[in-house]
């Protein structure tokens, strides 16, 4: 918590499959300041099942920028920063998938700068799977908006830092 060169990132998506993409991305600084809260227009309709979770509909993203238009801003915000993501494997995969939909691979996030808050929190909770490792924990008090989940992640980070 003494460092100030990190941010929390979260996304909301059209789903969880290898064919889904981002519809919202949020980035919050270490001190809780919102650096980005952007809707993103996907290349396909948002399924009702996804809208039921994050409450983002096709009408909401009708005039939103495409992911490549938003990603340039994301890269500028993230430059030189450590990136903390709750369930980093999922969000980094969806970033790659969203870029791929626009022919922009191999771009993505610098994985050496990404840390998974879910894995850290799961270890901190200490509940073990019978076959080894720690049981993944759901994000406590997240509201399924990108910024709301960033702020919930920040609360967990502070809780872990306090002991």
User: How many angstroms separate the Cα of 150 from the Cα of each of 59, 107, 156?
Assistant: 24, 23, 10
pLDDT of 106 above 70? no
The SS3 call for residue 116 is strand
Chain segment 86-99, per-residue pLDDT in tens: 999 999 999 999 99
Q: Which domains does the chain have, with CATH numbers?
A: 6-162 (3.30.420.10)
User: How many angstroms separate the Cα of 146 from the Cα of each of 29, 101, 127, 153?
Assistant: 13, 21, 27, 11
The chain-wide mean pLDDT, for the chain, equals 94
pLDDT of 42 above 90? yes
Strand order in the sheet with 6-13: 34-39, 22-29, 6-13, 82-85, 114-116
Chain segment 111-134, per-residue pLDDT in tens: 779 999 999 999 999 999 999 899
Question: In angstroms, rounded to a whole number, what is the distance separating the alpha carbons of residues 49 and 52?
Answer: 5
Query: Biggest alpha carbon distance in the chain?
Result: 48
Mean pLDDT of 143-158: 97
Chain segment 43-77, per-residue pLDDT in tens: 999 999 999 999 999 999 999 999 999 999 999 99
Which two tokens mark 14?
A: 């059209």
């Amino acid at each position: 918590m003494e460092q100030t060169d990190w941010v929390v990132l979260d996304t909301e998506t059209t789903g969880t499959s290898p064919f889904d993409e981002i519809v919202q991305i949020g980035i919050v600084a270490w001190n809780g300041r919102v650096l980005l809260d952007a809707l993103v227009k996907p290349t396909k309709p948002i399924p009702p099942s996804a809208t039921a979770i994050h409450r983002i509909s096709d009408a909401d993203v009708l005039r939103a920028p495409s992911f490549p238009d938003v990603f340039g801003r994301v890269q500028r915000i993230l430059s030189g920063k450590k990136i903390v993501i709750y369930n980093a494997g999922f969000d980094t995969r969806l970033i790659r998938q969203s870029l791929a939909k626009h022919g922009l691979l191999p771009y993505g996030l610098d994985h050496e700068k990404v840390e998974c808050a879910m894995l850290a929190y799961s270890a901190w909770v200490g509940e073990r799977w019978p076959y080894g490792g720690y049981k993944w924990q759901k994000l406590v008090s997240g509201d399924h908006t990108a910024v709301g989940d960033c702020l919930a992640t920040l609360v967990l980070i502070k809780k872990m830092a306090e002991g």
